Structure formats: structure tokens, C-alpha cells
Amino acid sequence: MSHLEKLKSYLEEYGKYIIIAAFLLITASIIKQFFYFKEIKENKKETVGTIEKFEYSSRGSYSLYFKYNIDGKTYSNSIGTNGFYGFNKRKGCVGCEFKVLYSSKDHRKSSIRLGKYEKHKRTVEFVNLDE
């Protein structure tokens, strides 16, 4: 039996389980993301954060790292973006300050608001935090 025939036989036997598992993983990820942003919205506080680092991750995506302070403690987070240059002419607007919304229950849960650069975000927020 060739490798191709073995693969075909395996997929015929287990393919539906692989599809179900993938569907469940995607659904769980969406639900987790939804509740993450829902908590921020329901317990919303605001501070100012600074973009610390902007680096290429893969397939045209970048990771934007930011930090913010609450009650003397520094927190950090990241989001996915497309490549962009900020008003300071630096890629990803590194060094610029932007509004950060965070949960008063868990200060690690946050979202940076990029103003006119918001359109470059690739991170999906299932809840409108700006209402």
C-alpha cells in the first residue's frame, strides 16, 4: 500500500473527526476572544500606553507591543497589525502614546486604541469597546 493510499484510507476513517476537532477549536477560540473583550467593555477603565516594539511575524502581519501603567505597576500586551508608519515617521509608531482600555477586574486584559491607525489592526474585537 502506497503512502497516498494510506493517507486516503486514514482520511476516510478519521477525516470527520479532524473536521469536528478543528471546528471546536475555532469555536472555542472565538468564544474566548469574545469574553476577553466583553470583560474589558463591562469593567472599562482608561489609561495611556506606549508602543514599545513593532516586529514582523508572518505573511505580512506584524506584532505591535505596548505597555501601560496602572497604580504604579507596568503591564504589557500585544496586537496583530498590518505594517504602517506613524506620525513620528517610525514603523508601527514606536514610542508614541495611545489610549489603552483595560479591565478593572484584570488589568492584564487590555486593548490599545490606535486612533487614525486603528484600520491597521488585524486583531478581531468581537465587542465594540468605543461605545
Q: What is the pLDDT of residue 55?
A: 96
Residue pair 34/27 in contact (Cβ under 8 Å)? The answer is no
Residue-range domain boundaries for the chain: 1-42, 44-120
For range 82-108, the mean pLDDT: 96
Tens digit of each residue's pLDDT (9 = 90 or more) over 10-22: 888 888 999 999 9
Tens digit of each residue's pLDDT (9 = 90 or more) over 35-66: 999 999 999 999 999 999 999 998 889 999 99
Report yes or no on whether pTM surpasses 0.75.
yes
